[in-house]
Chains A and B, each alone.
Chain A
Amino acid sequence: MSANTSRATSGGTGAGHTLWVRVTHWIVAASVLTLAVSGFTILMAHPRLYWGAVGNDLTPALIELPVSRNYRHGGWQLSTAAFPDGGPAASVIRTYDILNENSWARSLHFLAAWFLVVTGLVYLLAGIFSGHLRRHLLPRRGELNARALSEDLSAHLQRPMAPAAAGPPYGLLQKCSYCGVVFVALPLMVLTGLTMSPAISAAYPFLVDMFGGTQSARTLHFCVFVALLLFLVIHLVMVSLSGFRRQMRAITIGRPT
């Protein structure tokens, strides 16, 4: 019952995605996958995360990730004081030849980031002017409440899952997760990424303050990446469970049947 009324008022038909949604979806998907692979490669060069302005092998880490042979490599020469008059700061020569593929990984990361940012902006503009964001993505007034959320959640946990519409109108949890990715996670990835740039943070120091330091921004960049990875897994599971062939047809050729 509610599916029919929401379909009538939202303008969506459940009959696939419009062309610009399909094109931007796949460019963003390819960019995000490229960013994930190159980003993980960059992380492997220094798998330690910090909180605050700076952090390095000689300062305490927030998290150490065992993701490459650089994890706790311990290849350091005997330490010397960094201050001529003594003091806590040390200067140490690294003797270990670390794994570092950042030359291509960094350039590839930024190339993919350009595709993500430009396509993301096109998506937002098209979404605003076509009404897609307002009609299909943002939960309608009164729609977002605890009861509706728990009902939608239990509907998702039923086996077999009821076949979902291929394309808008979206379910409530679907709207919430898409909004989370479009309005929170991806903008946060871009902003925390820009904060790590020495030239951009010099021009706009408020970015550094907003995230509590450059290394904090790097840590948040990783945490939001993990959240996006979680979204991707759930997204793919939902696509599979709600009619894989139909959903794939809807997001590629635009017609579910």
Chain B
Amino acid sequence: MRGERVITSRRTLLTGMASCGGLLLAGCSDPAPPTYGNLLRMADNLNYRAQRLLLPRNALVREYQRADITSIAAIGTTNPANPHEELYDAAGGAAYDRLRHGGFADWRLTIDGSVSRPGSFSLEELRRFPARTQITKHTCEEGWSAIAEWTGVPLRTVLQSVGVRAGARFVNFYAFDATVDSIDMVDALHPQTLLAYGMNGGELPVAHGAPLRVRVERQLGYKSIKFLHRIRVTDEFYDPGKLGPLQQGWAWYTGI
């Protein structure tokens, strides 16, 4: 028994060393995240590169029990059709209002860009994919956190069904409010990155992003874009200008 243990730990050690080497190699050929001239952007990039280099890419966030679910605040845009929202977009707001009144029956998620079979999915079609339910912690950049249950289809399942091209590096999310933001392929293909249509056992409420939001569990809450209508896969980093949080000074990568 003792001998077996030694072999196991030696094997673990070798596997660990091999995967460390692999990580370093992968880190060197890593696609560069957005680069900006100022000092704070360079620090954001350093965080991103360091975490991609040093952290295991498929580490899962902790999942909780139903009893652990807490109250949760809805902040940011809580209704894209409300013209008083800070990120209100007239065209998106009008479209959202119309779709919401039809129970989102006419809503479709467009997927295009660097994929082999661009197309669109209705809510019903997304529900036909194998679903995943996870109870996870939502961490807000403000300092608070909450636990909620999310049900949806893993983003990677949908991406696999449309065939992501070899050169693809970023997945961009377009919302009904004036929001566009992106994540890299490491987070996009992570098993807990979800396109969520359900919350706490029911439909995803409007305040939390109905009919569909993304859950990027290893980053801060503001990367889990609500009110999705389009996903675009790109080979290069796309700077959405005023539509994204970057121009307002917010970090693009928020794994920290």
Contacts and interface: CB of A to CB of B under 8 A. Distances in A.
Interface residues of B, number: 55
B71 A56 contact: yes
How would you classify the secondary structure of chain A's contact residues: helix, strand, loop or mixed?
mixed
A56 B70 contact: yes
Contacts of B220: 198
B218 A54 contact: no
Contacts of B142: 45-46, 98, 100, 102
Interface in A55-87: 55-59, 76, 80, 82-85, 87
B44 A107 contact: yes
Residues of A in contact with B, size category: 35 or more
Identify which of A48, A91, A104, A114 gathers the most chain B CB atoms within 10 Å of its CB.
A91
Contacts, number: 158
Contact of A114 (B43, B70, B75, B202): B43
Q: Which of B59, B64, B145, B255 has the most chain A CB atoms inside 10 A of its CB?
A: B145
**Which of A42, A82, A83 gathers most chain B CB within 10 Å?**
A82
Contact of A92 (B74, B137, B140): B74
A46 B140 CA distance: 10
Contacts of B219: 198-199
Interface string A102-115: 11101110110010
B144 A198 contact: no
A93 B147 contact: no
Interface in B131-181: 137, 139-148
B65 to A, nearest CB: 11
Interface string B190-234: 000000000111110101100000000111100000000000000
A87 B70 CA distance: 10
Contacts of B40: 104, 107-108, 111
B126 to A, nearest CB: 20
A199 B200 contact: no
A192 interface: no
Contacts of A76: 73
B218 A199 contact: yes
23 contacts: A53-B137, A54-B70, A56-B71, A56-B140, A82-B199, A88-B71, A89-B71, A90-B71, A92-B71, A93-B74, A103-B245, A110-B44, A111-B46, A114-B46, A198-B137, A198-B220, A199-B51, A199-B219, A199-B256, A200-B256, A202-B55, A202-B218, A203-B56
Given A57-B73, A114-B43, 11 more contacts: A58-B70, A58-B146, A83-B200, A85-B201, A92-B74, A106-B141, A111-B46, A114-B46, A198-B218, A200-B256, A202-B55
